[in-house]
Structure 1
Amino acid sequence: MDSIVSVFRSFVNWDVKSLLLFTAVFILTADYLKNRRSGSFPPGPRALPIVGNIFNVDYKRIHESLTQLSERYGDVYSLQMGQVWMVVLSRLEALKEGLITQGDSLADRQVLPPLLDITHGQGLIFSSGNTWKQQRRFALSTLKYFGFGKKSLEPIILDEFTHCAKDFNSYKGMPFNPHLTINNTVSNIICSLVFGHRFEYSEEKFMKLIAFFDKGREIQGSISTQLYCSFPWLMKHLPGPHHTVQHVWEDVKDFIRVELEEHKQNWDPSDQRDYIDCYLNEIQMSKGQADNTFDEENLVMCAWDLFLAGTESTSTTLRWAFLYMAKYPEIQAKVQAEIDGVIGQSRQPSMEDRANLPYTEAVIHEIQRMGNIAPLSLPHVTNKEVQLGGYTIPKGVIIIPNLTSVLFDKNEWETPNTFNPGHFLNEEGKFVKPAAFIPFSAGKRVCPGESLAKMELFLFFTSFMQHFTFSMPNGVKPVMDYIIGITLEPVDYEICITSR
């Protein structure tokens, strides 16, 4: 009897082992067949089964990791992130080929799970196809009507600077963190365009809105969110910050919905005061049209996108600007001297002053280059098979434009890793913009807030330099390290801002 039991146990143990072995072989074989790529597909590091190249990348310095990989695998190479294939474009020629020459084939946006849960394919930034074309065309034409990138927007920006300056002066040159004030200042420009009014910095609901955006941006760049992109089927059922960010962004959308309801109560089609009014009119005008994408939920999502595109780039760049001016006081003094000579202290700057402030312009552009706030831009996806760099990339593959590899390319810049305004000046001291300066990306999906950001950066930076001097607290050296989220932002710091 004992011998029969022993044989049975041996059979069961062997059967379980066989089942586990068969399952493992089946999964590995299926993974291999699914992710097998032809010889014409871009090369890349060897991928592990199931997880692919997830462990080849340092997520805290992902843009640096991807740039280093390009040195080994070329300007067009591939990565398998979990079950998702990506192709990384590095350096200027590869980016120009992908984003401009083959721009139509890469015009769609890959919306990864954390953002798809929020956007549902709507809005300006993360939509594709007909939705993107309609919404982008409407947004650009409407905001242009309200002064987007035009002189008529100058008074709004310069007026907001006076509120910011008042806040800065309240610290009387003592160390403080300018993060919140700068976010408030820049956000109010978008509030004026989208909602038709600004908020006081101390207004509770405005403070909540800014806090929501800060928290959402921080979580969006977390490792938890990155894992959700690669393994959505698993991460949906696991706790973590990737769930929190959805609630945070929903709170932002609820804020916009409240503004929308207030607009609807006082809406007059003959008096269009802001973006929301114009959008409500477009909803009425487009009813019954084929392929119409205008509705209230898309309006909320577009407003959300405008805040993201119109606030984040400028506020983060200005925070880098303060640090670089404190780190290089001799450059700050030269900027101030140029501004004093051209504008003086008795009037506010104007966009017309740009042509007469070449050194100031050069410094602003070098801050953008070194700040590198959108190091990997936003992901695209191929909408058909495409040839890039001599390789064949199938439809549906994510394309990552590595802007870092261009902005710090030793073949494009004299001293790529050093803050040097001379990168944007010719021998006569006149401002020049090299082709490799692409902080807003390029092609059909170039940042929709670019023209506004350029105007804000010039007017805000010039105004700050005209009225203040920036320095670090006694005994403190500037820390130029960064935190990567939606953008590359400086680690929070305290600074002394002294009235001139």
Structure 2
Amino acid sequence: MLTITQAFVVLIIFLLIVEFFKLQKARKQFPPGPAPLPLLGNLVHLKFQFHRDLLMELAKTHGNIYTLWFGWAPVIILNGYQAVKDGMTTHPEDVSGRMVSPFFRAMAKGKGIILASGRSWKQQRRFGIMTLRCLGMGKKGLEYRVQEEASHLVDVFVNLKGRPVDPSFPLFHSISNVICALVFGYHFSDEDKTFHELISATETLFRFAGSFVHQLYEIFPWLVCRLPGPHKKALSCYDVLSSFARKEIRRHVERGIPDEPQDFIDFYLAEMEKSKDGAKPKYDEDNLVYVINDLFLGGSETSSTTLYWGLLYMVVNPDIQEKVQKELDAVLGPSRLICYEDRRKLPYTNAVVHEIQRFSNIVFVGMPRMCVRDTTLLGFPVKKGTIIMPNIASVLYDPEQWETPRQFNPGHFLDKEGNFIPREAFLPFSAGHRVCLGEHLARTELFIFFANLLRAFTFRLPEGVTKINTEPIFGGTLQPHPYSVCAIPR
């Protein structure tokens, strides 16, 4: 006769077998993919990590549209330029939803822009784009802010007098001050204690995103949320950002809304005042808090990390650095302000900036989309509520689109005469209705900051250092391993 323990084990095995056959039946409704296991789904196939190269390897076996299972949740992966482009742009409205996963729901409550969906997302995004344009995005006014911060960054490196420095903080500080000026109406000083707290919170959040514990949280939220661990720290760090945003909102309210709004918070508060009498106000303080967080995180981390990779690539490729400097010297000279329009006269520099974005590939998988209605995706019928994930790395490293995808090669963006050529497969900002709303600002920042730095300095490794790690650290964005450089004035 079976003991209670033996009976329990038999029951568990029976339930797992039942779950296994249920999964096999369910997966027939989706594009092909590796066979999922009960509870774990395809985590074993992914080696319990979400790695860009593993996703591309699976595509070799299962095709450029395939399904991975995270527990009982199927996720359709799009791989390669053609699959990502067609999947995101053929029926863009159909795949414009956002999967609000358990962790991100706990973090942002489905509000703001990045993690919102449906009508609320459309309203917040439309207002965000309109307001950023009012504040100068795409115009000379905003470009002047970028030039100002780039000039300040040059001064920071000048004061170091060639001493070794990890450029991560100076880059983040200067880049984030552009978005801070737009959102809050002022800049942070280098020594500001609050700013350092915001940076620390941001770094913790991006390190946690995509980690093993993050994946466990998404699969077993009912269990992991009750346990101690890095997820608790990540959520508390998001609360740090939210708390700061609320303080800024209160400061603006106490000051009063000016007749001519000066920053994003002013514009939003004015809109809140207009819509407060509606049955369901479109704009409220909670949404404003999460929109501020989205703008700060999105407007700081991505551009500063890309530049961090850029300086690393210049140190590793001194011949490319020298070619950029020769072009800058020949076309611009040593002193005049560099503007975004100059990229047209600086094809090689422009190509290098684009190649930094392509090769660093800092957001290697686009934020998951969700089908908002039944649709067809690359010939497969897909039901409403299905999660779609574009593998951006597979686009930027697609061997059918790039001559040397795994090499840093500015020639990817140059023709035989040395003229700059745009490439359709250059999709670091994603595609479709969820394309990055700060794309123009990011492009302006990257070009102006990079050109200013290379005109003023030659970047070298510190004395005695001969090797530098160019492999990424995986997280919410792909980060370089910390490194130091010497900025030698030219």
State TM-score, norm by structure 1: 0.94
SS for the counterpart of 1:427 is coil
Aligned counterpart in structure 1 of residue 403 of structure 2, from 394, 414, 418: 414
Alignment of 1:394-405 (within 5 A): 394-405=383-394
> Does 2:448 match 1:453?
no
Deviations 1:425-461 (A, max 9, x none): 1122111111111011001000111111001001101
Deviations 1:374-427 (A, max 9, x none): 100111111222222222222222111001111111111111111111110112
Q: Which moved more, 1:186-195 or 1:107-116?
A: 107-116
C-alpha contact 1:221 1:486 (8 A) present in aligned 2:
yes
C-alpha contact 2:471 2:480 (8 A) present in aligned 1:
yes
Deviations 1:295-348 (A, max 9, x none): 011101000000121111110110011001111111111111111111101211
**Structure 1 residues 401, 291: CA separation in 2 closer, same or farther (over 3 Å shift)?**
farther
**Structure 1 residues 16, 419: CA separation in 2 closer, same or farther (over 3 Å shift)?**
closer
Question: Structure 1 residue 105: deviation in Å?
Answer: 1.2
Report the Cα distance in structure 2 between the residues aligned to 1:172 and 1:83, rounded to whole angstroms.
57
> Does 2:273 match 1:280?
no
Report the Cα distance in structure 2 between the residues aligned to 1:36 and 1:237, rounded to whole angstroms.
32
1:190 — aligned with what? 179
* Structure 1: runs of 5 or more not aligned: 1-10
Report the Cα distance in structure 2 between the residues aligned to 1:320 and 1:229, rounded to whole angstroms.
30
C-alpha contact 1:31 1:50 (8 A) present in aligned 2:
no
Question: Structure 1 residue 485: deviation in Å?
Answer: 1.4
SS for the counterpart of 1:104 is coil
- How many residue pairs match? The answer is 489
Alignment of 1:169-208 (within 5 A): 169-208=158-197
1:353 — aligned with what? 342
1:225 — aligned with what? 214
**Alignment-mate amino acid for residue 496 of structure 1:** C
**Alignment-mate amino acid for residue 445 of structure 2:** E
Alignment of 1:18-417 (within 5 A): 18-30=7-19, 32-33=21-22, 36-37=25-26, 39-58=28-47, 62-417=51-406
SS for the counterpart of 1:77 is strand
**Structure 1 residues 489, 149: CA separation in 2 closer, same or farther (over 3 Å shift)?**
farther
> Does 2:480 match 1:490?
yes
Report the Cα distance in structure 1 between the residues aligned to 2:27 and 2:309, rounded to whole angstroms.
44
Report the Cα distance in structure 2 between the residues aligned to 1:481 and 1:223, rounded to whole angstroms.
19
SS for the counterpart of 1:413 is coil
Which has the larger Rg?
1
Question: Structure 1 residue 269: deviation in Å?
Answer: 4.1
SS for the counterpart of 2:51 is helix
Question: Structure 1 residue 39: deviation in Å?
Answer: 3.5
Report the Cα distance in structure 2 between the residues aligned to 1:25 and 1:434, rounded to whole angstroms.
54
C-alpha contact 1:83 1:231 (8 A) present in aligned 2:
no
Deviations 1:196-238 (A, max 9, x none): 0101011111111111111221122321111111111221122
C-alpha contact 2:43 2:49 (8 A) present in aligned 1:
no
SS for the counterpart of 2:93 is helix
Deviations 1:172-210 (A, max 9, x none): 112111111111111101110000010101111111111
Deviations 1:227-269 (A, max 9, x none): 1111112211222101110001101111111111111111234
**Structure 1 residues 277, 66: CA separation in 2 closer, same or farther (over 3 Å shift)?**
same
C-alpha contact 1:60 1:484 (8 A) present in aligned 2:
no
Aligned counterpart in structure 1 of residue 471 of structure 2, from 476, 481, 488: 481
Report the Cα distance in structure 1 between the residues aligned to 2:340 and 2:105, rounded to whole angstroms.
38
**Alignment-mate amino acid for residue 485 of structure 2:** I
Q: Percent identity?
A: 40
Q: Which moved more, 1:144-153 or 1:285-294?
A: 285-294
C-alpha contact 2:24 2:35 (8 A) present in aligned 1:
no
Report the Cα distance in structure 1 between the residues aligned to 2:354 and 2:145, rounded to whole angstroms.
23
Q: Which moved more, 1:248-257 or 1:281-290?
A: 281-290
Question: Structure 1 residue 290: deviation in Å?
Answer: 4.8
